[in-house]
């Protein structure tokens, strides 16, 4: 999935209210214990970085959403550059001069 698709679906969409991620998914993806994830999410809720719906799905919110989006774009760009470098190095290692 392209980063533009991901950003559009989860952060810029008019239907953001229908999307979100729960604490268990964050825990599974990150490897961070669920209790720690919940504590961190509660802190972000208190600081109004996130909102939570009745299904316990967390989404970015309010004034901070644009700040989060900028940080996330930069992170995606850095990750894609890093991944490309690693891939290119692995190709070079396979080719013996």
> Where does the pLDDT of residue 1 fall: very low under 50, low under 70, confident under 90, or very high at 90 and above?
very low
Tens digits of residue pLDDT in 42-82? 999 998 888 888 989 998 877 777 777 788 889 988 999 99
Three-class SS state of 97: coil
Mean pLDDT throughout 18-27? Answer: 82
Residues 6+ apart with CB under 8 A from 32: 26, 40
Residues 6+ apart with CB under 8 A from 52: 20, 41, 45, 58
pLDDT of residue 2: 56
Record the tokens describing residue 56, joined without a space.
């316990």
Using CA atoms, how far apart are residues 71 and 82, in angstroms rounded to an integer? 16
Q: How far is CA 94 from CA 27, 62, 88, 90, 91, in A?
A: 36, 49, 10, 6, 5
Record the tokens describing residue 29, joined without a space.
């993806």
Higher pLDDT, 27 or 64: 27
Tell me if the pTM is above 0.85: no
Q: What percent of the chain has pLDDT over 70?
A: 77
pLDDT of residue 92: 84
58 neighbors 52 (Cβ within 8 angstroms): yes
Higher pLDDT, 13 or 27: 27
Mean pLDDT throughout 22-39? Answer: 90
């Amino acid at each position: 999935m392209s980063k533009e698709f991901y950003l559009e679906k989860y952060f810029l969409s008019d239907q953001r209210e229908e999307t979100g991620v729960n604490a268990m998914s964050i825990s599974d993806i990150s490897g961070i214990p669920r209790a720690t994830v919940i504590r961190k999410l509660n802190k972000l809720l208190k600081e109004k970085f996130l909102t939570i719906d009745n299904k316990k799905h967390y989404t970015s919110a309010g004034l901070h959403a644009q700040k989060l989006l900028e940080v996330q774009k930069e992170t995606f760009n850095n990750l894609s550059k890093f991944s490309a470098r690693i891939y290119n190095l692995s190709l070079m290692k396979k080719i013996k001069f």
